[in-house]
């Protein structure tokens, strides 16, 4: 009886080929998937950058119209295109940016697709396809804020309906936080932008109570300064303590003329060319741009129905607004203009402070 053996020539080659195919599959999964993930992350970073820049530009406009939309869109394109995806410069256009003036939102999409002629190439996965479409979108919005740091050491009565125009709240006059407050549309459609306020009084006849000229006592962490020295430092520099609507602040009694003049003059000297353009209701001449001047300050406001009396008193913050510090006179009266600019942290309570955040 004879036995015949089957010819298995080439079986090893088939097995090796199958193993290599599996290895290529794993390589495609590990390497190409990593490349695609990196591309997706970089697209997202570019979209985030463009959306925040677009919304930040939108924030600077007092009137939201076609000009505001077009300039904000152009800014979004510009900042998104500063980025790279897999060492290739991002190249989006105006059609990739949507500006919603009603919602105060900017949506930016960064595509790397076949339709745009710039898909992400594959390496080991070329046996299936040579490239893959990758894209990412981001939305940023302008919202009202209820907390900020870098507040200057002044707190004044919030806006109310001053029926007899005496500058002080009288029984029966109307006040509602977030409705009549500074920075709302209660008095006009421009959020009070450009309205001039005296944020530090000097004339005793204008004091809200004996010894109360609007200064407040803001502690400085790890600083030995007290009294006038601390007050002056808080004018010149940025207080790192965040202040939120609902917080209680202590007043700083006394006229503080000397520390006020020193602090305000030093602050103005940080950006001496900046000025308020009343025709455009915006800061011009600043070495830091329209919204970056150190003379753009934030101050707090309290309920005008409960003003401080004489002596060191506690007031509750009902509003926070951003202003451009315009001038100080020889008596120590400080004038500022309400403006729209960025704040910090979360939003929620209506007021005069706006900031930009990513919505999605």
Indicate whether 310 belongs to any domain.
yes
Are both 208 and 133 inside the same structural domain? no
Are both 128 and 41 inside the same structural domain? yes
Are both 211 and 264 inside the same structural domain? yes
What's the pLDDT tens digit per position in 223-271? 777 788 999 999 999 888 888 899 999 999 999 999 999 999 999 999 9
Are both 178 and 247 inside the same structural domain? yes
What's the pLDDT tens digit per position in 38-81? 999 999 999 999 999 999 888 878 778 999 999 999 999 999 99
Contact call for residues 190 and 63 (beta carbons, < 8 A)? yes
Of the residues 116, 142, 168, the one at which a domain ends: 142
User: Is pLDDT above 50 for 349?
Assistant: no
Q: SS3 of 69, please?
A: helix
E runs forming strands in the chain: 84-85, 88-89, 97-100, 105-112, 120-121, 131-132, 134-148, 151-157, 196-200, 216-217, 243-244, 248-251, 275-277, 282-284, 296-302, 314-328, 334-339, 344-347, 354-358
What total of structural domains would you count in the chain? 2
Which of 7-11, 62-66, 121-125, 130-134 comes out lowest in average pLDDT? 7-11
Indicate whether 5 belongs to any domain.
no
Average pLDDT for 121-139: 80
Q: Given phi > 0 = left and psi -120 to 50 = alpha, else beta, which region is 111? A: beta
Average pLDDT of the chain?
A: 86
Indicate whether 2 belongs to any domain.
no
Tokens 């009266």 map to which residue? Answer: 333
User: Is pLDDT above 70 for 345?
Assistant: no
Are both 135 and 157 inside the same structural domain? no
The domain in which residue 125 lies consists of 11-142
Of the residues 125, 142, 159, the one at which a domain ends: 142
The candidate with the shortest Cα–Cα distance to 261, out of 324, 337, 155, 334, is 334
Give residue 348's pLDDT: 43
Of the residues 118, 142, 166, the one at which a domain ends: 142
> What is the rounded distance in angstroms from the CA atom of residue 106 to the CA atom of residue 51?
6
User: Is pLDDT above 50 for 142?
Assistant: yes
Give residue 12's pLDDT: 67
pTM: 0.68
Give residue 334's pLDDT: 98
Are both 160 and 65 inside the same structural domain? no
Average pLDDT for 349-355: 59
Which of 11-15, 229-233, 310-314, 353-357 comes out lowest in average pLDDT? 11-15
Are both 204 and 270 inside the same structural domain? yes
Are both 127 and 208 inside the same structural domain? no
Percent of the chain topping pLDDT 90: 57
The candidate with the shortest Cα–Cα distance to 354, out of 141, 101, 138, is 141
Which of 28-37, 139-148, 233-242, 245-254 comes out lowest in average pLDDT? 28-37
User: Is pLDDT above 90 for 303?
Assistant: yes
The candidate with the shortest Cα–Cα distance to 317, out of 263, 229, 242, is 242
Give residue 96's pLDDT: 97
Q: Which two tokens stand for residue 5?
A: 């053996």
Indicate whether 1 belongs to any domain.
no
Q: Which two tokens stand for residue 232?
A: 């002056």
Are both 186 and 134 inside the same structural domain? no
Q: SS3 of 161, please?
A: coil
User: Which range scores top for mean pLDDT: 128-137, 175-184, 255-264?
Assistant: 255-264
Are both 188 and 309 inside the same structural domain? yes
Give residue 346's pLDDT: 39
Write the CA distances from 271 to 176, 262, 328, integer angstroms.
36, 15, 15
Inter-axis angle of helices 33-59 and 66-80, to 10 degrees? 150
Are both 216 and 351 inside the same structural domain? yes
Tell me the pairing of strands 334-339 and 196-200. Answer: antiparallel
Confidence band for 325, pLDDT divided at 50, 70 and 90: very high
Contact call for residues 320 and 299 (beta carbons, < 8 A)? yes
Are both 203 and 130 inside the same structural domain? no
Indicate whether 6 belongs to any domain.
no
Contact call for residues 252 and 215 (beta carbons, < 8 A)? yes
What's the pLDDT tens digit per position in 76-113? 999 999 999 998 999 999 999 999 999 999 999 999 99
Indicate whether 25 belongs to any domain.
yes
């Amino acid at each position: 009886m004879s036995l015949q053996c089957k010819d298995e020539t080439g079986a090893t080659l088939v097995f090796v080929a199958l193993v290599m195919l599996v290895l290529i599959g794993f390589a495609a999964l590990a390497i190409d998937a990593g490349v695609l993930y990196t591309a997706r992350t970089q697209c997202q970073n570019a979209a985030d950058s463009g959306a925040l820049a677009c919304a930040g530009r939108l924030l600077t406009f007092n009137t939201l119209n076609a000009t505001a939309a077009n300039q904000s869109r152009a800014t979004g394109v510009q900042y998104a295109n500063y980025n790279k995806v897999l060492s290739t410069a991002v190249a989006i256009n105006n059609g990739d940016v949507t500006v919603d003036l009603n919602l105060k939102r900017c949506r930016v999409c960064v595509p790397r697709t076949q339709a745009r002629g710039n898909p992400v190439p594959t390496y080991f996965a070329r046996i299936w396809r040579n490239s893959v479409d990758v894209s990412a979108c981001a939305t940023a919005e302008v919202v009202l804020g209820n907390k900020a740091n870098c507040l200057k050491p002044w707190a004044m009565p919030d806006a109310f309906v001053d029926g007899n125009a005496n500058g002080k709240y009288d029984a029966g006059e109307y006040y509602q936080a977030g409705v009549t407050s500074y920075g709302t549309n209660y008095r006009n459609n421009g959020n009070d932008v450009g309205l001039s306020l005296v944020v530090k009084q000097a004339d005793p006849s204008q004091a809200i109570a004996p010894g109360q000229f609007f200064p407040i006592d803001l502690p400085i962490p790890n600083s030995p300064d007290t009294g006038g020295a601390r007050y002056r430092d808080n004018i010149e520099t940025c207080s790192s303590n965040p202040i939120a609507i609902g917080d209680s602040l202590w007043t700083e009694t006394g006229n503080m003329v000397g520390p006020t003049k020193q602090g305000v003059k030093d602050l103005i000297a940080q950006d001496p060319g900046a000025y308020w353009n009343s025709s455009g209701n915006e800061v011009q001449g600043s070495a830091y741009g329209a919204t970056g001047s150190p003379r753009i300050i934030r101050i707090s406001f309290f309920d005008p129905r409960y003003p401080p009396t004489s002596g060191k008193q506690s007031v509750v913050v009902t509003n926070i607004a951003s202003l451009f510090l315009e001038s100080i006179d020889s008596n120590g009266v400080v004038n500022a203009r309400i403006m729209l600019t960025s704040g910090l942290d979360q939003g929620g309570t209506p007021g005069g402070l706006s900031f930009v955040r990513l919505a999605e």
